[in-house]
Chains A and B, each alone.
Chain A
Amino acid sequence: MTQLDDITVKDVDVLVIGGGTAGPMAAITAKEKDPSASVMLLEKANVKRSGAISMGMDGLNNAVIPGHATPEQYTKEITIANDGIVLQKGVMEYAERSFDMIQKLDNWGVYFQKDETGEYDVKKVHHLGTYVLPMPEGHNIKKILYRRLRRNRVQVENRYQAIRLMKDESGAVSGCIALGTRDAEVIVIRAKAVVLCTGAAGRIGLPASGYLYGTYENPTNCGDGHSMAYHVGAELSGLECYQINPLLKDYNGPACAYVTGPLGGYTANANGDRFIECDYWSGQMMMEFYNELQSGNGPVFLKLDHLAEETIQEIEDVLHTNERPSRGRFHDGRGNDYRTKMVEMHISEIGFCAGHSASGVWINEKGETTVPGLYGAGDMASIPHSYMLGAFVYGDICGANAVEFAKHRDLPTLDETFILREKQRILAPLKRSDGIPPNQFEYKLRRFVNDYLQPPKITKKMDIGLQRLKDMEQDIEFLYARDPHELLRANEAQHVYDCALMAAHASMYRQESRWGLYHHYVDYPQTNNDDWFCHVQLYKSEDNQMACKKRPIDPYVVELDEEEKTAYQKMRIQQVS
Chain B
Amino acid sequence: MPTATQISMVPVVVDNEKCIADKGCRTCIDVCPLDVLWIDEKTGKAHMRYDECWYCMPCEADCPTDAVTVNIPYLLR
Tell me, in angstroms, the Cα distance from A480 to B52 when the chains sit together.
Answer: 18
A48 and B56 within 8 A (CB): no
A-B contact count (CB 8 A): 89
Cα distance, A326 to B69, chains bound together (Å) = 11
Contact size class for A?
35 or more
Contact A434 B3 (CB under 8 A): yes
Please state if B33 and A51 are interface contacts (CB–CB under 8 Å): yes
**CB-defined contacts of B33 to chain A, threshold 8 Å:** 45-46, 49-51, 54, 218, 220
Nearest-Cβ distance from residue A259 to partner chain B, whole angstroms? 18
> What secondary structure prevails in chain A residues at the interface with B?
loop
How far apart sit A264 and B58, CA to CA, in the bound complex (Å)? Answer: 30
Pairwise interchain contact A214-B75, C-beta atoms closer than 8 A: yes
The answer to whether the Cβ of A476 comes within 8 Å of any Cβ in the partner chain is no
Known: A49-B31, A334-B77. 6 other contacts (CB 8 A): A214-B54, A218-B33, A218-B56, A220-B33, A437-B3, A485-B35
CB atoms of B1 and A330 under 8 A apart: no
Near A by CB (< 8 A), chain B positions 61-77 give 61-62, 70-73, 75-77
A303 nearest CB across to chain B (Å): 22
B residues less than 8 Å from A326 (CB atoms): 55-57, 70, 72
A210 within 8 A of B: yes
A489→B51 CA distance, assembly (Å)? 12
**Nearest-CB residue, chain A, relative to B61:** A55
- Least Cβ–Cβ distance between A577 and chain B, in angstroms: 32
Tell whether A324 is near chain B: CB-to-CB under 8 Å: yes
Q: Shortest beta-carbon distance, A247 to chain B, in Å?
A: 11
Q: Hey, which chain B residues are within 8 Å of A182, CB to CB? A: 35
Q: Chain B: interface residue count, which band?
A: 20 to 34
The 7 closest A-B pairs by CB, nearest first: A49-B58, A45-B33, A49-B31, A326-B55, A211-B75, A250-B76, A213-B52
Cα of A551 to Cα of B30 in the assembled complex, Å: 44
Given A324-B56, A437-B3, the answer on whether A329 and B34 have CB atoms closer than 8 Å is no
Which chain A residue lies CB-closest to B52?
A213
A159 near B35 with CB under 8 A, answer: yes
| Distance of A385 from chain B, by nearest CB (Å) | 23
* Contact A209-B2, Cβ < 8 Å, known A218-B33, A324-B56: no
* B3-31 at interface with A (beta carbon < 8 Å): 3, 30-31
Q: Are A488 and B35 in contact (CB under 8 A)?
A: yes
Judge if A251 is at the interface, Cβ distance under 8 Å.
yes
